[in-house]
Chain A
Amino acid sequence: MGSSKEGAIAVADIEDIRHLLRRTEFVARPERVRALGKLSYSAAVANVLSVPTADRTAPVPRALDADHRSGTSWGEYQAAVHWWTDRMAFDAKRPIQERLALFWHGHFCSHWQVVDDTRSMMRQNAAFRAHGLGNLRTLAHAVTRQPAMLRYLDNDRNRKASPNQNFSRELLELFVLGVGNYTEQDVEAATAAWTGHGIDRDSRTYTFRAKQHDTGVKTFLGQRGHWDGPDIIDLVLGARPGAVVSVGPDAGQPAPVVAARFLSRKLWRSFVSETPSDKVIKHLGQVLVSNNFEIAPWVGAMLRHDSFRSAETRAGLVRTPIEYIVALLHASGRRAAEINPEWFAEGMGQALFGPPNVSGWGTNGYWVNSSALGARAAFANHLRWKLTKGRDQNNSLKLAAGSWKWSAELDALPPEQLIDTLAGALLVPLSRTSRDAMVSWAAAEQRKWGPDWWRSTNALLLLMIAPEMSLA
């Protein structure tokens, strides 16, 4: 399994490094494996988390931050998907920033079509990037001021004269506290607190309308006060003291403790495994609380936890569609605008900027059914077609890892070398079963048909749809 002593000088096991990079940077890039392979595991984690300012503040393309115009277009959606996908696959120096932005996007959900404004969606995306590895309270405050969020959950219509509970309920249930940890009175109090926080119709920017705000006293999680919307977050996340959860399995605990556990479970299920133990959740929750809701030490504690590197963890998480797409794009070296992953993502079950509902996407079994796998295969087939388009005697297969002449090199390779070469280039860690099956197939192709056009191109496809390619 490899070195697991915190702070030990011993160099990390290379398989631990690859696993760490797959889970945090979408792919174990060879240059990253080389760089981190010289460090202890703990130092490798620190390196993964050392996100430069440029990554945090990467500006959204100007065309996607344009002055208000009504609605949004398919062209703008594509451009947004391409830009973000390229950041994940190529442009971020420390891709964990993007991996976390993806996590927060699936947590603080909103939907492109419902929000119906490109600039709002992209500003929200920028907030995930700016604060995603920062402080969770700051992140929550930033996100709840986003017009995208206020629109998606109807808080722009939450007024003192006619309260609308949608946003406040989902804030408590899905964003910060977890179902069963609050009462209907808490929802009503939060709703009243959030009245008046809305959007200016013309500029589609955040606006607070004092006239629509309920300034009365509310009792929320046992605390009485003239609470305003942001106070609700401060009470739940402990910036304001005294809020206590009064119902549910954690009744009696301070709200920030309960919130930290709720959030830790979500984080673990996205990065590690579907079934965290109560013990690990309590531990991570404590780390978050004692670090004042700073995200980096919390994520670091997760990555350094022994369970993160267990055999069960390594085999236990299915790559989400976006992660699958990013891994293939990275290996291909082709940018998103050339490949149009957005044509296939919805069939796989995960359209970027389009979670199916406010609770986001699921895990593992959620992604695995025949039609969703068929969509992954359709994407791989499309990518394969792009990579092999126009090949002839003198052309080369160009991937991120290198270039091989089709006829002179790939077509002429013996079966084992063909498979190993392409698997190495595509960064697919093949199991023995898969490798044996592919080598047998390649050998049979060669026997029947000689070195032929189809063998190399179909080998590419087989590697892309191998089960190992869909494991995180």
Chain B
Amino acid sequence: MSDEPVPGSDPDELLDEAGRARRRFLRLVAMGVGAGLTGSALVEAVASQVPGLSTDVAAAALGPHEGILIVIGMYGGNDGFNTVIPIADAAYRAQRGSLAIDARTALRLNQTTGLHPALGTLKREWDAGRLAIVEGVGLPDPDLSHFTSMAHWMSGHATGVGVGSGWIGRWLDAKPGGRTNADLGVSIGSQVPLNMIGRERRAVSIPTGSPGFGGGIEPADQRLYGAVHAMAAPGARGRWDAALSGALRDQVDLAGRLRTVLDKPAPGPLAGQLDAVARLINADLGMRVFDASWGGFDSHAGQPWMHTARMQEFDAGIKRFFEVLDPRWAGRVALMTFSEFGRTSHANGSDGTDHGTASCALVVGAGVRGGMYGQRPALTGLGRWDRPAYHVDARSYYASLLDGWLGGGSTEVLGRPYEDLKLFGSSPKSG
């Protein structure tokens, strides 16, 4: 009925002043400031609004074959069987009862497979050969606790979760020195999930949304904000005193800058995030990995409306992303989904399903080699509380993305070699 918290979080106030200035800059760009400008031209245009912004904030532009990966987390346990539907499987129909999606309303991909009816954009990507569907993804010794399973999926390490870091974070760690982590990894929202946290580096979190306190224009307000700065100045403080002070200063500064930006209507929980991701990519600031995630997938009851709403949000997100993304970046981006587990194949009598194991993952992008991968979990003969076996190790899924799109190094990141599913037919390139 409700999702677990995600492991990891970003105490953003632990950044130094330069890091915080960069973060303010990124937030402005994510909200649409300087749209149409890129790289150093963008920095120049916005720098006047962000005191303390250093000139090297525009990291080197992407190399000719450097790709961008967007991680889309579905928190709570997405129902893979109703996302990628085994439309010809009698066991699916029998075990799902009224929760089974009718083969006539599913968006037909082939004789045995359909997509959830809400996934019209994904269907168009499939038709264009830009959607890879990996079935039967899971992990050995599956844990059915949200928190534990999510930690395993986010860690993605051969030795399990004890490493305390996430797979994208470790990819950031492996990047050559001289570039701050903020150059390369961004998590949309006010938290950084574990998968974006490495041993030394981590993505920076960029919240989006309206600015709030600090946008007053009266002279007395401005004097007040000066007092806030003085009161909350960095100095000899306890850790949490300092964290609170930093957050307050940050808020006041940012609100002042953001009040001139028009508020856009919120297009949906994922679409709003992917809108910001697209804007940051368009700005050509050198970022390689993004995280845009949302919850509400734990459909123990009321699955018909709950899961449909999530699928509508998912589809709207992908649609919005490509609407905002400058077409010249289309060949550089790949979007991938994951969830901490699937659902039981049997419905549970509350119009819902319980925590499962093997499920599907989707990858979208111009460089993707469209088609079906992995192996569909067998449902025949499964008892009420049996969970289907997985066929593709999640770490193999990650290896395929690291090696196929992010330039390699999966063995180091994941702790040992994993099979590459060869999800990509071409390498990243500008359009």
B301–A157 CB distance below 8 A: yes
Instruction: Tell yes or no: B375 within 8 A of A by CB.
Output: no
Across the two chains, which residue of chain B brings its CB closest to A158? Answer: B350
Instruction: Tell yes or no: A48 within 8 A of B by CB.
Output: no
B232–A371 CB distance below 8 A: no
Given the complex, which residues of B lie within 8 Å of A246, measured CB to CB? none
Complex: A90 Cα to B241 Cα, angstroms = 27
B5–A438 CB distance below 8 A: no
Chain B stretch 344-371: residues in CB contact (< 8 A) with chain A: 348-350, 352, 354-355
Instruction: Tell yes or no: B4 within 8 A of A by CB.
Output: yes
Given the complex, which residues of A lie within 8 Å of B248, measured CB to CB? 370, 373, 377, 465, 467
B12–A162 CB distance below 8 A: no
Given the complex, which residues of A lie within 8 Å of B254, measured CB to CB? 370
Across the two chains, which residue of chain A brings its CB closest to B241? Answer: A467
A359–B4 CB distance below 8 A: yes
Across the two chains, which residue of chain A brings its CB closest to B235? Answer: A433
Given the complex, which residues of A lie within 8 Å of B235, measured CB to CB? 433
0/1 string, B97-118, CB within 8 A of A gives 1: 0000000000000000000000
B214–A111 CB distance below 8 A: no
Instruction: Tell yes or no: B228 within 8 A of A by CB.
Output: yes
Chain A stretch 329-348: residues in CB contact (< 8 A) with chain B: 347
Among B209, B231, B247, residue most surrounded by chain A Cβ atoms (within 10 Å): B231
Complex: A362 Cα to B191 Cα, angstroms = 12
B301–A377 CB distance below 8 A: no
Chain A stretch 162-205: residues in CB contact (< 8 A) with chain B: 162-166, 169, 173, 179-180, 184, 187-188
A471–B220 CB distance below 8 A: no
A371–B190 CB distance below 8 A: yes
> What secondary structure prevails in chain A residues at the interface with B?
helix
Chain B stretch 210-235: residues in CB contact (< 8 A) with chain A: 211-214, 220, 223-224, 226-228, 230-233, 235
B2–A114 CB distance below 8 A: yes
Q: Which of A162, A378, A441 contacts B350 (CB 8 A)?
A: A162
Chain A stretch 361-395: residues in CB contact (< 8 A) with chain B: 362, 364-366, 368-375, 377-378, 381
A368–B1 CB distance below 8 A: no
Complex: A441 Cα to B224 Cα, angstroms = 8
Binds A, one of B31-39, B88-96, B142-150, B402-410: B142-150
Q: Known: A370-B250, A374-B213. Is A166-B239 also a contact (CB below 8 A)? A: no
Q: Known: A377-B248, A433-B235. Is A364-B240 also a contact (CB below 8 A)? A: yes
0/1 string, B232-260, CB within 8 A of A gives 1: 11011111110111011011101100000
B367 to chain A, nearest CB (A): 35
Chain B stretch 262-315: residues in CB contact (< 8 A) with chain A: 295, 300-301
Given the complex, which residues of B lie within 8 Å of A187, measured CB to CB? 144
A319 to chain B, nearest CB (A): 9
B363 to chain A, nearest CB (A): 28
Given the complex, which residues of B lie within 8 Å of A468, measured CB to CB? 241
Q: Known: A437-B227, A462-B228. Is A111-B213 also a contact (CB below 8 A)? A: no
Instruction: Tell yes or no: A159 within 8 A of B by CB.
Output: yes
Q: Known: A359-B4, A377-B213, A462-B224. Is A368-B13 also a contact (CB below 8 A)? A: yes
Instruction: Tell yes or no: B207 within 8 A of A by CB.
Output: yes
- Chain A interface size, under 10 / 10 to 19 / 20 to 34 / 35 or more: 35 or more
Given the complex, which residues of A lie within 8 Å of B211, measured CB to CB? 374
Complex: A51 Cα to B238 Cα, angstroms = 34
Q: Which of A163, A184, A458, A465 contacts B348 (CB 8 A)?
A: A163
Given the complex, which residues of A lie within 8 Å of B233, measured CB to CB? 433, 437
Across the two chains, which residue of chain A brings its CB closest to B211? Answer: A374
Instruction: Tell yes or no: B9 within 8 A of A by CB.
Output: yes
A471–B240 CB distance below 8 A: yes
Instruction: Tell yes or no: A440 within 8 A of B by CB.
Output: yes
A317 to chain B, nearest CB (A): 7
Complex: A369 Cα to B355 Cα, angstroms = 32
Instruction: Tell yes or no: A470 within 8 A of B by CB.
Output: yes
A365–B243 CB distance below 8 A: yes
Among B1, B5, B238, B241, residue most surrounded by chain A Cβ atoms (within 10 Å): B1
Instruction: Tell yes or no: A316 within 8 A of B by CB.
Output: yes
A179–B231 CB distance below 8 A: no
Complex: A466 Cα to B245 Cα, angstroms = 8
A114–B1 CB distance below 8 A: yes
Among B213, B251, B295, B355, residue most surrounded by chain A Cβ atoms (within 10 Å): B213
Instruction: Tell yes or no: B385 within 8 A of A by CB.
Output: yes
Instruction: Tell yes or no: B11 within 8 A of A by CB.
Output: yes
A154–B251 CB distance below 8 A: no
Given the complex, which residues of B lie within 8 Å of A374, measured CB to CB? 211-214, 251, 255
Given the complex, which residues of B lie within 8 Å of A162, measured CB to CB? 348-350
Instruction: Tell yes or no: A234 within 8 A of B by CB.
Output: no
Q: Known: A173-B145, A374-B212, A377-B214. Is A166-B1 also a contact (CB below 8 A)? A: yes
Q: Which of B1, B226, B237, B241 contacts A153 (CB 8 A)?
A: B1
Given the complex, which residues of B lie within 8 Å of A467, measured CB to CB? 231-232, 237, 241, 244-245, 248
Across the two chains, which residue of chain B brings its CB closest to A459? Answer: B227
Across the two chains, which residue of chain B brings its CB closest to A379? Answer: B213
Complex: A437 Cα to B227 Cα, angstroms = 7
B116 to chain A, nearest CB (A): 23
A372–B190 CB distance below 8 A: yes
Given the complex, which residues of B lie within 8 Å of A375, measured CB to CB? 212-213
A458–B244 CB distance below 8 A: no
Q: Which of A166, A180, A431, A466 contacts B300 (CB 8 A)?
A: A166
B247–A368 CB distance below 8 A: yes
Given the complex, which residues of B lie within 8 Å of A445, measured CB to CB? 223
Q: Known: A165-B354, A180-B148, A370-B251. Is A441-B226 also a contact (CB below 8 A)? A: yes
Q: Known: A154-B301, A161-B349. Is A381-B213 also a contact (CB below 8 A)? A: yes
Complex: A370 Cα to B208 Cα, angstroms = 11
Chain B stretch 160-215: residues in CB contact (< 8 A) with chain A: 190, 205, 207, 209, 211-214
0/1 string, B1-39, CB within 8 A of A gives 1: 111110001111100000000000000000000000000
Given the complex, which residues of B lie within 8 Å of A111, measured CB to CB? 2
Complex: A465 Cα to B251 Cα, angstroms = 12
Q: Which of A164, A173, A347 contacts B354 (CB 8 A)?
A: A164
A190 to chain B, nearest CB (A): 13
Complex: A333 Cα to B97 Cα, angstroms = 58
0/1 string, A111-146, CB within 8 A of B gives 1: 100100000000000000000000000000000000
Complex: A464 Cα to B190 Cα, angstroms = 24
Among B236, B251, B384, residue most surrounded by chain A Cβ atoms (within 10 Å): B251
A265 to chain B, nearest CB (A): 15
13 A-B contacts (beta carbon < 8 Å)? A159-B349, A164-B300, A166-B1, A166-B301, A362-B9, A365-B243, A369-B207, A373-B247, A374-B251, A437-B227, A437-B231, A441-B231, A465-B248
Q: 11 more A-B contacts (CB under 8 A) besides A375-B212, A437-B231?
A: A157-B349, A157-B350, A163-B384, A179-B145, A315-B238, A358-B2, A365-B9, A374-B212, A454-B220, A454-B224, A466-B231
Chain B residues in contact with chain A, CB under 8 A?
1-5, 9-13, 144-145, 147-148, 190, 205, 207, 209, 211-214, 220, 223-224, 226-228, 230-233, 235-241, 243-245, 247-248, 250-252, 254-255, 295, 300-301, 348-350, 352, 354-355, 384-385
Chain A residues in contact with chain B, CB under 8 A?
111, 114, 152-154, 157, 159, 161-166, 169, 173, 179-180, 184, 187-188, 315-318, 347, 356-359, 362, 364-366, 368-375, 377-378, 381, 431, 433-434, 437-438, 440-441, 444-445, 454, 458, 461-462, 465-468, 470-471
